[in-house]
Chains A and B, each alone.
Chain A
Amino acid sequence: MNPLIELNDVLYRYPLTRKSALRHIQFKVTSGMVMGIIGVNGSGKTTLCNVIRSFIPNFYQGDLQGTVTLKGKPLNQYSETELSQLVGYIFQNPFTQISGVKDTVAEEIGYGLENLGVSSKKIQKRVAKMIDLLNLSDIKDKNPFDLSGGQKQMVAIAAILAINPEIFIFDEPTSQLDPAGTTKIFKIIQQLKSQGKTVILVEHKLDLMMQYIDQLLVLDEQGQQIAWGKPEEILASFTENQTIALPTATRVYQRMAAQHLIPIATNKVPVTQDEIVQTIQNFQETR
């Protein structure tokens, strides 16, 4: 079976710049996988999302090298319409995702479907379902520009969910949200996963992210891929520094090892709360 998404030695330079924003990006994502991308601000996470959705090179010029294929077919052989149905992209900044041409939240949620030529009856049904799913009924008649940052983020997500694509790119979907809203988004990601959707997730909230991802891509501050694999395995070779942040579970584990409370593992470390709780319980029993 072809991998759903495949990047092969991808390098990209923005126009009028000398430094590459991305270099040596190489990974394969299979259908149904949840993939996380981490790296400091400016390491190319959003740029990489733009490549996968082909906003680079379709809307941004510059120098793109290497190959990107979806379902075995190079990205440049897809039409923009095909891509918008195949890949749903929730922008980092909800303030820029809202179309600005619709007067109500409900219309905004249906705007993508409208552009794809879906019948208005179907749109209404689909929009009603999204409003229900994300508890947006209180704001459905409001102007999207009158919403708070967190509410805008929810509306942007609803608009993409309405299109029901195969691949979802979430670029820091919870940056404007409170803990309740954040939990809601991660529940949606969990649901998408159980429906067999493929998810690419950029997120700084590592403690939460680690509970949901299968594979992790790490970018350094130069936009270079420095690790790709199962998070519990690749994070075993890192300590927190200028390049990489670690989840709380891994930090606790490393501190415990540094203080000789537990032996240092080199091939696998706890990355989630459940895993570090297990480690501490084992440690408590040996006391």
Chain B
Amino acid sequence: MTMVELKNVSFSYDGQKQIVHDINLAFTAGTATAIIGQNGAGKTTTVKMMNHLLVPTQGQILVNGEDIHDRTTAQVAHHVGYAFQNPDDQIFNNSIQKEIEFGPKRDNLPQDQLQKRVQVAAKMTGLSEHLDEHPYNFPYSLRKFITIASILAMNPETYIFDEPTAGQDHLSRQRLSKIITQLVAQQKCVIVITHDMNFVAENFNRVIVLSEHQVLADDTPQAIFSQPKLMTRANIEPPEALSIARRVHMATRPLTVTTLVDALKSK
């Protein structure tokens, strides 16, 4: 089922320079998609339009089949949750508990349901032990998980995470992988902006490459990373395992450490 659809969408801040130019994309339930591309390619602008933080200057955005043009951001946020690139643009409460429950509280959920939502979100993000703490006592990288938890607590159908891998250690990256897997298993639609190609290779079946404000490619990681010309044009580096495999002239194109070593073994 299509959860979010962009039809001929363009966006400009000043009415002249197009930041997003004529984009057509559809995202379905039960899938995880990575959006990659250089700084300034239009990644954040594109996803901000999907939850109505920005309104397209041209084209149409459908969420669950309905045009969101005349909806409010608060209405759309029930269906599409967006965790900001800079957590400090999002966090404004003085405890993690309050930050996570802010969204669902406004829906007048019964207290027990509200607490259940907070608990589930805190558990998935590893924050269960820290609910009473002040968000700013946490390092930047962990504040990102607070923003993700507050989106999880809203329980929308579509989740957008904007550079959740930035500054994360290997444990946090594993936690992110698990969150994505869990959401996909619940038939949610997950969209992640990232610069971490090892993370892309390990966690996604679909990759969208944005370059110069347009969709340059939309395919599997295998297909994307096998096209050196495309990668150069979009300024993307291949996953480390693939770079190694190329240099030793392997016949296959492994994207992860596991597939690389398996290929070496079976040769």
8 Å CB interface, A234-248 against B:
240, 242, 245, 248
Tell yes or no: B140 within 8 A of A by CB.
yes
Task: Say whether A248 contacts B244, CB under 8 Å.
Answer: yes
Task: Say whether B166 contacts A252, CB under 8 Å.
Answer: no
**A-contact bits for B223-267, CB 8 A (1 contact / 0 none):** 000000000000111001101100110000000011011001101
**B244 contact from A178, A252, A284, A287, Cβ within 8 A:** A252
Q: Which residues of B contact A133 (CB under 8 A)?
A: none
**B235 contact from A95, A180, A248, A280, Cβ within 8 A:** A180
Cα–Cα distance between A240 and B174 once the two chains are bound (Å): 12
Q: Total interface residues on B, using CB and 8 Å?
A: 38
Knowing A175-B167, A180-B38 touch, does A149 contact B86 (C-beta < 8 A)? yes
Cα–Cα distance between A93 and B141 once the two chains are bound (Å): 10
Tell yes or no: A259 within 8 A of B by CB.
yes
Cα–Cα distance between A252 and B236 once the two chains are bound (Å): 22
Q: Which residues of A contact B170 (CB under 8 A)?
A: 40, 204, 240, 245
Tell yes or no: A281 within 8 A of B by CB.
yes
**B140 contact from A92, A181, A277, A281, Cβ within 8 A:** A92
Cα–Cα distance between A95 and B247 once the two chains are bound (Å): 39
Tell yes or no: B40 within 8 A of A by CB.
yes
Q: Which residues of B contact A256 (CB under 8 A)?
A: 261, 264
Q: How big is chain A's contact interface, by range?
A: 35 or more
Cα–Cα distance between A283 and B88 once the two chains are bound (Å): 49
Tell yes or no: A117 within 8 A of B by CB.
no
Knowing A176-B166, A180-B235 touch, does A277 contact B248 (C-beta < 8 A)? yes
Task: Say whether A179 contacts B248, CB under 8 Å.
Answer: no
Knowing A92-B167, A95-B88, A287-B267 touch, does A41 contact B240 (C-beta < 8 A)? no
Smallest Cβ distance from A280 to chain B, in angstroms?
5
Cα–Cα distance between A135 and B172 once the two chains are bound (Å): 33
**B-contact bits for A189-209, CB 8 A (1 contact / 0 none):** 000000000000000100100
**B-contact bits for A227-263, CB 8 A (1 contact / 0 none):** 0000000000000101001001101100110010100
**B39 contact from A93, A95, A178, Cβ within 8 A:** A178
Q: Is the interface of A mostly helix, strand, loop or mixed?
A: helix
Tell yes or no: B142 within 8 A of A by CB.
yes
Which of B198, B235, B241, B257 has the largest number of chain A CB atoms within 10 A?
Answer: B257
Q: Which residues of A contact B247 (CB under 8 A)?
A: 273, 277
Q: Which residue of B lies closest to A257 (CB)?
A: B261
Task: Say whether A245 contacts B169, CB under 8 Å.
Answer: yes
Q: Which residues of B contact A42 (CB under 8 A)?
A: 139, 142
Cα–Cα distance between A151 and B38 once the two chains are bound (Å): 12
Task: Say whether B39 contacts A172, CB under 8 Å.
Answer: no
Cα–Cα distance between A255 and B198 once the two chains are bound (Å): 17
8 Å CB interface, B34-61 against A:
37-40
Q: Which residues of B contact A178 (CB under 8 A)?
A: 37-39, 195, 235
8 Å CB interface, B118-171 against A:
139-142, 163, 166-171
Task: Say whether A41 contacts B141, CB under 8 Å.
Answer: yes
Q: Which residue of A lies closest to B248 (CB)?
A: A280
Knowing A149-B85, A273-B243 touch, does A283 contact B264 (C-beta < 8 A)? yes
Smallest Cβ distance from B149 to chain A, in angstroms?
16
Tell yes or no: A276 within 8 A of B by CB.
yes
Cα–Cα distance between A39 and B86 once the two chains are bound (Å): 23
**B-contact bits for A33-63, CB 8 A (1 contact / 0 none):** 0000001111000100000000000000000
Tell yes or no: A177 within 8 A of B by CB.
yes
Smallest Cβ distance from B139 to chain A, in angstroms?
6
Cα–Cα distance between A281 and B162 once the two chains are bound (Å): 39
Knowing A40-B169, A95-B86, A252-B241 touch, does A284 contact B248 (C-beta < 8 A)? yes
Q: Which residue of A lies closest to B231 (CB)?
A: A179
Tell yes or no: A150 within 8 A of B by CB.
yes
Which of A273, A280, A283 has the largest number of chain B CB atoms within 10 A?
Answer: A280
Task: Say whether A172 contacts B167, CB under 8 Å.
Answer: yes
Given contacts A41-B142, A252-B260, 14 further A-B contacts (CB under 8 A): A39-B169, A40-B170, A40-B171, A41-B167, A172-B167, A176-B163, A176-B166, A182-B195, A204-B170, A245-B169, A248-B257, A255-B258, A261-B265, A277-B247
Chain B residues with a Cβ under 8 A of chain A: 37-40, 85-86, 88, 139-142, 163, 166-172, 195, 197-198, 235-237, 240-241, 243-244, 247-248, 257-258, 260-261, 264-265, 267
Chain A residues with a Cβ under 8 A of chain B: 39-42, 46, 92-93, 95, 148-151, 172, 175-182, 204, 207, 240, 242, 245, 248-249, 251-252, 255-256, 259, 261, 273, 276-277, 280-281, 283-284, 287
Please name 26 pairs of A and B residues whose Cβ atoms are closer than 8 Å in the assembled complex, sorted by A: A40-B169, A41-B167, A41-B169, A46-B139, A95-B86, A95-B88, A148-B39, A172-B167, A175-B167, A178-B195, A180-B38, A180-B39, A182-B195, A204-B168, A240-B170, A242-B171, A255-B257, A256-B261, A256-B264, A259-B261, A261-B264, A273-B247, A277-B248, A283-B264, A284-B267, A287-B267
